[in-house]
Structure 1
Amino acid sequence: MKISEAMHAPAEWVSADTPVSEIAARMAKDDIGAVPVGKNDKLIGMITDRDLATRVVAKNLSAKKTKAEDVMSPGIVFCRTEESVEDAVHLMDQKKIRRLPVLNEEKRYVGMLSLGDVAHAAGLELTGELTWAVADHHK
């Protein structure tokens, strides 16, 4: 199965200068755990609910003054719409991540592929493999 058939859309991202209070509100409203961050029409990182907890709340930073770029996980690991879900699973396994932004052939962000999407699209064996890989305890 192609990633384009398994991913969820629409694709939304936030600007690097977006206050994390707005991002947290969006995450709560849309029931999502990660949002890509962009700057100059390019994705530059990802901000997750874990980033908010460990880099904002735990450090007592102001959610209204702290910007996405200040606390995001830098860099983007992504997949392409025409790749297979199996390829994405191997990438998620290798990078130990639960979500992948999806880019189309024009290198535009068009959706997100999550662990949940894989669970609905792939067989039990592949889903189990991925869950085992990304749920590995920190050492």
Structure 2
Amino acid sequence: MVVLATLLTVVLCVLLHYEVSMALSRRMERSTRSQRQRFLTLIFGLLLAHIAEIWAFAATMSLLLEISSTGDVIGITAPGFLDFVYLSATNFTTLGYGDMVPTGPIRFVMGTEALTGFVLITWSASLTFLEMQKHWRTNHPD
């Protein structure tokens, strides 16, 4: 069950990231707005996508941890959903503070989330770089 839930969450996040990235890239091409507005839209759009992906993994963790055989998280005495969002964010960004530690099969979700987060963050950085190469005007900044 943990592996299936993890795979579904990864697929959801990758598809979401693809759709958001394509929409933002198309918007950059078609926009007549200022350079500042276009790039701020790109960056905030990508940040919102990452936040949605973090919340998707948090929801998966929260649901799975309702089932006793999937494991536990040491460091949370009375877990609320925002605890799982925090744990998800530290995993997604590969920051990993270590104040919350997964035990049992749920570790698969968290390990996979770290890899997925790393890939999606790198994808966002690559897209931003490519868009900057195409659209960054150094002679006439807005």
| TM-score of the superposed pair, with normalisation by structure 2 | 0.25
* Bigger proportion of residues as helix: 2
* Bigger proportion of residues as strand: 1
Question: Which protein is bigger by CA-based radius of gyration?
Answer: 2
| TM-score of the superposed pair, with normalisation by structure 1 | 0.25
